[in-house]
A and B are shown apart, each in its own frame.
Chain A
């Protein structure tokens, strides 16, 4: 893991989706946790739904990204094509940068 320093990640950077073990109204599905993919794009700043869901309106907005993963990396027995991918939205604090897509998961 490399320090994030709260900079905005650029498209193409390699990231691992963390499993921060947070309970409640989290928007990071289980099936992508600990998986490695690429930043597809930076979407913008949004109030954290993990807070908003409990009435905490007006918190400091946080960066949201679209992260693209290879289906073969998500499912070891994936039966589609090797070129198939999945993109989903991940908030900054669920991401850490890694060196390559081949980083152990």
Chain B
């Protein structure tokens, strides 16, 4: 094998590199504080390790499909849609989805207005409804640019709108958490509710994609 032949072996960075740093043995100050607090609460009998584990499991069990199910129901059931726009949290509970956030506000996309969600101050997101937010959602770049140049940011995600469509950005800066209700795509009359739900990806629920387009 010649020395110029430098990369013939199977080496794909994207596949082989771990998603998380291997060295997670060094605690950040925040992690150390969390562990100390948890151990103290357990030692004093205020909480149990099993309760902590169960809560972590609950946190990780939410997926964007829960929001997609709500959207699909709203598309097929106009009465449900009215209830969902009036109270997103109640509408989620109606479908058996456990929501711990104080309030979920559902914002409807129309032919005239496209809505996009960002949290400029931190990374507020309806986690119990949709799971953990995408990495780009919590990046400082998105949080600063989404309010400043939303059309440019959406264009980078492959989403463009004519100038007569209002782009409305919702800064999730305080007590509400937002879910976007996208428009039902044309030509989907024959689809069942669960097939419709499969058209709704995570990014649609934040306003960064349109159903059935990815």
Co-assembled chains A and B: yes
What residues of chain A have their CB less than 8 Å away from a CB belonging to chain B?
27-29, 31, 43-44, 46, 49, 64, 66, 68, 71, 74-75, 78-91
Query: Can you name the residue of chain B whose Cβ is closest to the Cβ of A67?
Result: B171
The residues of B that contact A81 with a CB separation of less than 8 Å are 151, 163-167
A43 touches B151 (CB 8 A): no
A83 x B173 contact (CB < 8 A): no
Give Cα A86 to B102, complex, Å: 22
Task: Name the one of A79, A83, A85, A90 contacting B149, with C-beta atoms under 8 angstroms.
Answer: A79
**Quick one: which of A82, A83, A86 contacts B147, CB cutoff 8 A?**
A86
B175 and A29 contact, CB distance less than 8 A: no
Residue B148 lies at the interface, judged by CB distance under 8 Å to chain A: yes
- B149 and A87 contacting across the interface, CB-CB below 8 Å: no
Contacts of B163 in A (CB 8 A): 80-83
The interface residues of chain A lying within 8 Å CB-to-CB of B140 are none
B86 to chain A, nearest CB (A): 12
B residues adjacent to A (C-beta < 8 A):
102-103, 120-121, 147-152, 163-176
Complex formed: what's the CA distance from A46 to B103 in Å? 11
Chain B nearest CB, measured from A30 CB (Å): 9
Q: Which of A27, A68, A78 contacts B173 (CB 8 A)?
A: A27
Check A46/B166 contact, CB under 8 A, given A29-B120, A75-B148. no
A85:B176 contact, CB within 8 angstroms:
no
Residues of A within 8 Å of B120, CB to CB, are 29, 31
Q: How many angstroms from the CA of A16 to the CA of B163 in the assembled complex?
A: 27
Query: A29 with B174: in contact, given A80-B149, A81-B151, A81-B164 (CB under 8 Å)?
Result: no
Contact present for A87 and B174 (CB under 8 Å): no
Q: Are A79 and B171 in contact (CB under 8 A)?
A: no
The 9 residue pairs across chains A and B that have the minimum distance between CB atoms: A89-B174, A88-B171, A81-B163, A83-B166, A27-B174, A86-B169, A80-B151, A84-B167, A46-B175
B176 contact set on A, CB distance < 8 A: 43, 66, 89
- Let me know if A87 and B171 touch, CB within 8 A: yes
In the bound complex, residues from chain B placing their C-beta under 8 Å from that of A79 are 149, 151-152
How far is it, in angstroms, between the C-alpha of A83 and the C-alpha of B165 when the chains are bound?
A: 8
Known: A43-B175, A79-B149. 18 other contacts (CB 8 A): A29-B120, A29-B171, A29-B173, A31-B147, A46-B102, A46-B175, A68-B168, A79-B151, A80-B149, A80-B167, A81-B164, A82-B163, A84-B166, A85-B167, A85-B169, A87-B171, A89-B172, A90-B174
Which listed residue (A28, A64, A71, A74) contacts B175, Cβ 8 A?
A64
Interface centre among A28, A82, A83, A86 (most CB of B within 10 A): A86
In the complex, chain B residues whose CB is within 8 Å of the CB of A88: 170-171, 173-174
Q: Which residue of B lies closest to A82 (CB)?
A: B163
CB contacts (< 8 Å) of A86 on chain B: these are 147, 168-171
A-chain residues with CB within 8 Å of residue B168 when the two chains form the complex: 68, 84-87
